[in-house]
Amino acid sequence: MKPINDIPISQIIPGKNDRTIFDESGLRELADSIKEHGLIQPITVRYAEDCKQFEIIAGERRFRACKLLGWQTIPAIITVLKDKEASAITLAENIARKSLDPIDEACAYQSRIESFGWSIEDLSKYAGTSTIHIQFRLKLLKLIPEIQKLIRGGNIQIGYAQILADTNLDSNFQLIAFSRLRDNPKPTTGWFRSIVSELKEKQDQGILFKGPLFDETYDANQFKTKNIPQPPHPDTTMPPKVGRNYKEIMLNQINFWEEAASKWDAIGKPFKRNECRSAAQALTKALSKGFTKR
């Protein structure tokens, strides 16, 4: 067992931690626990490049919590490690403790691929997790920064984030997919998978959408929702009675609501789209019954 030394906190510096966000309330809770029960597990450090300080390898949250308590020294295990060895220990601790948000975890894997040339199999061995899990996390880095931020904050569940990352949508289509997820109060993974697949088809066909972040999107060929009136809706619009007879009028009204549904769909409003489709279906049923009676 390696000896434990009490090291002055003033001589300790953070290492290359994978964590980019330290939750203040979480640190305070940890500090309260350490105050009550003591520091059960010492931190791990190595000599810094100047050999006058110590660099943290594992335990930065514990180090920060002890600083909050005003400790002057902290129990630590001093190791002699090369960068690659130190990085492996840091990764193993962070993944084992499940203390990283999904984006920090993905960046942790990516940084080791770039710095040390590690393979997915290497990462799996050092992190103690599956290669599939690592591949899924790395795909999150394909998402635009704004959506990554929402993932960090827990505003997008990881299951939906993985579906979106797995589809290779460009930035505009990612925003459209997010807006549809946001507007659905009871989404399911199956529903969202169909949405992103539909958007991927439109992207592959060269259909372009563009618009401001998390705002109303544009139908590139027709209108911008903020400056031009909204599409027709059954609550606010009566379909025109155009046609030479009952059948033509009904068919034109059915087409009217189907076109309205497509416009609502283009701007990411699934409920209004569905209500327009329901209006079209009701007219179709009424038309069918009308001719059956005749």
Residue count of the chain, please give it. Answer: 294
Cβ-proximal residues to 226 (8 Å cutoff; 6+ apart), any chain: 215, 216
pTM over 0.75: no
| Helical spans, DSSP H, in 24-170 | 24-37, 60-68, 83-96, 102-116, 120-127, 131-139, 145-152, 158-165
| Position 98 confidence tier, pLDDT thresholds 50, 70, 90 | low
Among the listed residues 24, 29, 55, 60, the single catalytic one is 60
User: Exposure of 5 by Cβ count < 10 A (0-12 exposed, 13-18 middle, 19+ buried)?
Assistant: middle
pLDDT (tens digit per residue) in 175-212: 999 989 988 888 999 999 999 999 998 888 876 554 44
The pLDDT mean for the chain works out to 83
pLDDT (tens digit per residue) in 145-186: 999 999 988 889 999 999 999 998 998 899 999 989 988 888
| Position 97 confidence tier, pLDDT thresholds 50, 70, 90 | low
Cβ–Cβ under 8 Å, residues 163 and 155: no
Domains, the chain, ranges and CATH?
Answer: 1-80 (3.90.1530.10), 143-219 (no CATH), 229-293 (no CATH)
pLDDT (tens digit per residue) in 3-35: 889 999 999 998 877 777 777 888 888 899 999
Task: Look at residue 218 in the predicted model and tell me its pLDDT.
Answer: 36
Sign of the C-alpha dihedral computed for residues 76, 79, 82 and 84 taken in this order = negative
Q: Active site includes 60?
A: yes
Q: Are strands 54-58 and 12-13 parallel, antiparallel or unpaired?
A: parallel
Residue 248, Cα to own-chain centre: how many angstroms? Answer: 48
